[in-house]
Chains A and B, each alone.
Chain A
Amino acid sequence: MDLAILYVKKFYKIIRGEVLVLPSRISVGLFFLVLIGLPLITRDPYIIRIIILTSIFAILAASWDLLSGFTGQMNFGHALFFGVGAYASALLNVHAHIPPWGSVPLGALAAVMAGLIVGIPCLRLKHTYLALTTLAFPIILLGIIFALPDWTGGELGISGLTRFTSSLLGNYYLHIITMLVLCTIMWKITDSNTGLIFHAIREDELAVKTAGINTTRYKLLAFCLSGFFAGIAGGLYAHYMRIAGPSTLEVSMSFTVVIWAIFGGAATIYGPVAAVFILFPLLEFVRFWPEYRTLIFAFIVLFTLLYMPEGLIPWVRDKIEKECPRCKIRNVSTRKTCRICTAGLD
């Protein structure tokens, strides 16, 4: 009992000292709470569906950020990983009768393989050349899918997949918890030594090389990690939609991911996640005006990027928080002195 009280006290101390001190951390905490508590407010299947799909796409957008935002490996064909994950899961589920619990991780491994296949030839390329080469890969796979219709279902895709569970709430919690866990893992990766090296490769690859770090290995690792998370998203999508079709590999899918990540703020992980949670439901919300849906979407993205070139979330964060010039710790913007080193913030 005493131990429990001790842990509660410790937890409270962490919350008070580490979370409640910064609006961004409070927002993340609230985001977790709202997602977990949403079924207490509504169990509308339509809203639940939108949140589930948003969660899946949030994983996808964050996985792009891990590769392109952090490591600077500009990937314009991210749909490849998503599509490979979706198709591999679908094939395993429909032909080998492997349940989603097995087919989704195996699909993600297939996407890791795809990451290696793309990563190796792309190691020598940079910037525009890399972007254009990566763009070609999902198109190549699309060609293979159309060439092997007996296996891949061709234009129809592979349908009749089983869902994880038939329960509305079961599906909801499975998807949002997976999203929260995977995004936290991605964020922790970027916060680790590996993440630092990713960051450094983006800023100055030559400098990293001269420091004795094998950048090739780290770039391949970034491709594989990104492929893994995007593959999970693809598998979850295929099983939730009960179909893996060519639309998962379309160019529009690759570009939508880039738009989400840039809109939210690249090289943050939480930025792309927030962007998907804003833009995807927003597109659903403007269904009342179908002719102008895409136009409204485009205006919002353009307006945001025009005035917030770093992305929406870093802009908001910079408005509500300030970085201490001495110790680099973030503080709420209303503070005059740093909460750690008491240096003046203005």
Chain B
Amino acid sequence: MKKFTFGWSVLLAACLIMIICLPVWGQTIKIGVIGPMNFVQGKGHWNGAVMAAEEINAQGGVNVGKQKMKIELVKADSNEFINVTDAANAMERLMTQDKVDFVVGGFRTEAVLAMQDIAMDYKKIFIGCGASDIELCSRVAKDYNRYKYFFRGTPFHNGYLVRTSFAHLATGGAAIKKELNVPVRVAIVAEKAAWAEPMVAAAQAVIPKMGMELAGIWRPSAVATDVTSELSAIQKSGANLIFTIFSSSVGITFARQAGELKVPALQVGINVEAQKDGFWEATKGMGNYVFTMETYIRGVEVNKLTKPFVETYFKRFKETPTYTADTYIAIKHYLVPSIEATGTLDADKIVAHLENRVFEVPSGTDKFEKDAQGQPTHDLTWGPGYQTSLGGQWQDGKIVGVWPNKWKATPTSPEVTFNGMVPIKLPPWMKK
């Protein structure tokens, strides 16, 4: 009898605990993570979101009014590099089958535009973490009532990407002038891709205004496996600074062959392949001194949040986070504080709160912009004190931060230097 009573007491206690806990744990906040999951960009989306969800759930979840709710992630493969229709279907599925509360992710602009429309139809907050085109946020300003649920998570828009690249170019030019005391001649090398066209046109116009000479423009294929003819021509042109605009595999080919030929020029610009941890192995060490735009570099601290994020991510996934892993920021720093502050999952209330916040994230400080008419665009503010991104250079087997290092956005602006920056290095064969 005694045993029986004890057994029943345990069962009763268990039932009571379950009844008490059910309302707390029973409901979850469903967040859809959409991206090209079979590609590195989608893996970044998913990893960042997983890390955010794990951290938040480990702390007990999100306070929604008087309720504590855990985060549940729903993975959606958009397959957007191959099929835009697939991407739109994946978004519709998230909205109607999985019934998510929020969505983060997206990469290819054409697909994100289609996905954005679907999310707006259902009035769900969608934080874009990959596409850079300004059009995504121009839509918010043009038709605020429909598109107000869209926010840019990362990266800042393509206009600012160009500005940052020119700041990097100026840094490279200044280093050449200082160390070699020669005029700077710039070769523009951009892969044959539509996204590179406006950058090439802007670079052509801006380089002479920056006090540098334009040595020429070269446009190899985005998937070229041999660029020796371009490199020979660049060498003959007397260029000592190469402005690279690469997002595809040509970034590896170009860096490797330039290193093999010891082309006496510093490579500065965008080289997406050089942002990856495997770049050193891929170029067999020939990618030394390649300078590229970066979001995160181990050892560089933009603020107090950077190091914990980068190191935890590295420990968890054995790689440095790329910018699509900013789904972490979208969940942990965009959504959760606004949900907790408003005490609701109501999208309109969260939008009203989120668009007026200024807050620190591991990559800088986020503030949402307004257009000239004062209309919110939900785009990220760029510049000192906000988002600037980083400039990283491969130096002897690892990528180190070299920009911003005493950078002044305008002559009157304060200098910006992040912790962990090291001086930029010129390839030794330039000095011969």
Q: Is the interface of A mostly helix, strand, loop or mixed?
A: helix
CA distance A243 to B136 in the complex (A): 13
Which of B77, B139, B195 lies in contact with A155, CB distance below 8 A? B195
Among A38-87, those with CB < 8 Å from B are: 44-46, 49-50, 53
Contacts between chains A and B (CB distance < 8 A), count: 77
A45 touches B117 (CB 8 A): no
CA distance A154 to B109 in the complex (A): 11
The reply to whether the CB of B84 lies closer than 8 angstroms to some CB of chain A is yes
CA distance A241 to B83 in the complex (A): 13
The reply to whether the CB of A202 lies closer than 8 angstroms to some CB of chain B is no
B117 touches A46 (CB 8 A): no
Evaluate whether A252 and B83 lie within 8 angstroms (CB atoms) in the complex, with A156-B110, A159-B113, A287-B77 already known. Answer: yes
Among A129-168, those with CB < 8 Å from B are: 146, 149, 154-157, 159-160
A46 touches B97 (CB 8 A): yes
The reply to whether the CB of B38 lies closer than 8 angstroms to some CB of chain A is yes
The reply to whether the CB of A2 lies closer than 8 angstroms to some CB of chain B is no
B117 touches A245 (CB 8 A): no
The reply to whether the CB of B96 lies closer than 8 angstroms to some CB of chain A is yes
Mask: chain A, 244-257; 1 = CB below 8 Å from B; 0 = not: 01110000100000
The reply to whether the CB of B272 lies closer than 8 angstroms to some CB of chain A is no
The reply to whether the CB of B197 lies closer than 8 angstroms to some CB of chain A is yes
Interface size on B, residues (CB 8 A): 30
B88 touches A46 (CB 8 A): no
Taking the closest CB of chain B, its distance from the CB of A115, in whole angstroms, is 23
User: Closest chain A residue to B75 by CB distance?
Assistant: A290
Which of B75, B89, B194 lies in contact with A53, CB distance below 8 A? B89
The reply to whether the CB of A242 lies closer than 8 angstroms to some CB of chain B is yes
Taking the closest CB of chain A, its distance from the CB of B393, in whole angstroms, is 29
A246 touches B110 (CB 8 A): yes
B84 touches A247 (CB 8 A): yes
The reply to whether the CB of B135 lies closer than 8 angstroms to some CB of chain A is yes
A241 proximity list for chain B (CB < 8 A): 84-85, 88, 114
The reply to whether the CB of A346 lies closer than 8 angstroms to some CB of chain B is no
B194 touches A146 (CB 8 A): yes
The reply to whether the CB of B82 lies closer than 8 angstroms to some CB of chain A is yes
Taking the closest CB of chain B, its distance from the CB of A39, in whole angstroms, is 15
CA distance A252 to B83 in the complex (A): 8
The reply to whether the CB of A291 lies closer than 8 angstroms to some CB of chain B is yes
Among B65-104, those with CB < 8 Å from A are: 75, 77, 79, 82-86, 88-90, 92-93, 95-97
Q: What are 13 contact pairs spanning A and B, CB under 8 A?
A: A45-B92, A155-B109, A157-B113, A241-B88, A241-B114, A243-B114, A245-B114, A247-B83, A252-B82, A252-B83, A290-B38, A290-B75, A290-B77
A interface vs B, CB < 8 Å? 44-46, 49-50, 53, 146, 149, 154-157, 159-160, 241-243, 245-247, 252, 283-284, 287, 290-291, 293
